[in-house]
Each structure stands twice: as C-alpha cells, then as structure tokens.
Amino acid sequence: MNGGIQRILLIEDDLYTRDLYKESLESGGFSVETAVDGLDGLDKIETGGYGLIVLDAMLPKIDGLTLLGKVKDITPKQPNGPILLFTNLVRNAILPQAIASGAADVLVKAEVNPDQLVEKARELIK
C-alpha cells in the first residue's frame, strides 16, 4: 500500500465515465489507476497492490463477470482488496452471479451519484 493513500483500480471502458469516477474518487482522497478493458484490468490486478478494484461489467476483451472468475485463479504479486462490480445492468439480475464469483458488492451507476461511489469505496476499504 502507498503510505496511507489507498490505491483504487478503476476498470471502465467508457472514457467520460472513467474520467468522471477517477476525478470523484481522487477528490475523495484515493489514488486512482485506470484500465480500459478486461485484459488491461487483469494485467493490473496481477501486479496488485490495490485497496479496491472498481470493475465495470460490460467490458471489451474480457467482460467483468469473466474477469471475476479469472481473478480467483491468479496470485497477484501484491495482495488486492475487494472488488466492487460497478455496472448499469440490473442489480438483482447480476448480484447472485457477481457475489458467487467473488465480488464484494454490486452498485448500479444510474442509481448513485459520484459521492455515493466514494462512500461505498470508503466502506469497502475499511
């Protein structure tokens, strides 16, 4: 970990959405790294050292749920914190599979504002 400042990995393919939540999480006091697709995300997860991973579901190359399955099989160089699935899919429809695949929680983007994501990040990093 990075001298008290928690590192968050934000895996999101949509540029504007990525920038929006990066800015919000940084304003909330986190250090944010981003990945633009599932493969890029998996590489960064393998390197590890993130207090939280915010993962979109609909991603190019490897989708979020598949990525969750792969994460279970790898040993990162540095340990990672929980994974928050952050999606615009319907929560009830994706929740059981996401939790079974190792996600700590599911948050629907359309239902929260950026501050609520920051709150959730704080809650999960605790």
Partner 1 sequence: MPTLHDDSLQRITEEMYKQNRELAVRNKTLNVIQTISTVANQSFHPAEVGQLIVNTLVGELHATLSMIAIVHPSAERVECLAMAQLPEIIRVQKELHKNFQDFRISLHAEKNSLANAVTSRQRYVTDQLSDIFEPWSEPSETELIQQVCNVTSTFVLPLTANSPAGVLVVGFDRKENDLSAWEEETLEQVLGVIDVSLNKAFLLEDLRQANVQLKEMDSLKDEFLAVASHELRTPMTAIKGYIHLLLKKKDQLSPDMEEKLSRIAVSSERMLALVGEMLDVSRIAAGRIIVENEAVDVSALVREVGEELRIQADEKGIRLEIDSANNCVVHGDKNRLHEVVLNIIDNGIKYTPNGGRVSVSVCQQQEYIAIIVADTGVGIAEKDVPKLFTKFGRFSVGTDAKVQASGSGLGLYICHKLVELMKGKITVKSTFGKGSIFTVTLPVWKG
Using CA atoms, how far apart are residues 12 and 91, in angstroms rounded to an integer?
18
Shortest Cβ 124–partner 1 spacing (Å): 19
Supply 67's token pair: 């990525």
* Look-up of token digits 């990672």: 80
User: What is the H or E stretch that residue 55 is in?
Assistant: strand 52-55
Shortest Cβ 75–partner 1 spacing (Å): 33
Instruction: Return the number of the residue (68 or 89) whose C-beta is nearest partner 1.
Output: 89
Query: Residue 59, Cβ neighbours under 10 Å: how many?
Result: 24
Instruction: Return the number of the residue (21 or 80) whose C-beta is nearest partner 1.
Output: 21
Instruction: Return the number of the residue (68 or 118) whose C-beta is nearest partner 1.
Output: 118
Contacts to partner 1 by CB under 8 A: 14, 16-17, 20-21, 23-24, 58, 88-90, 92-93, 109-110, 113-115
* Alpha-carbon distance values, 15 to 5, 19, 49, 69, 87 (Å): 24, 6, 24, 25, 15
Shortest Cβ 112–partner 1 spacing (Å): 9
Shortest Cβ 1–partner 1 spacing (Å): 27
Instruction: Return the number of the residue (48 or 88) whose C-beta is nearest partner 1.
Output: 88
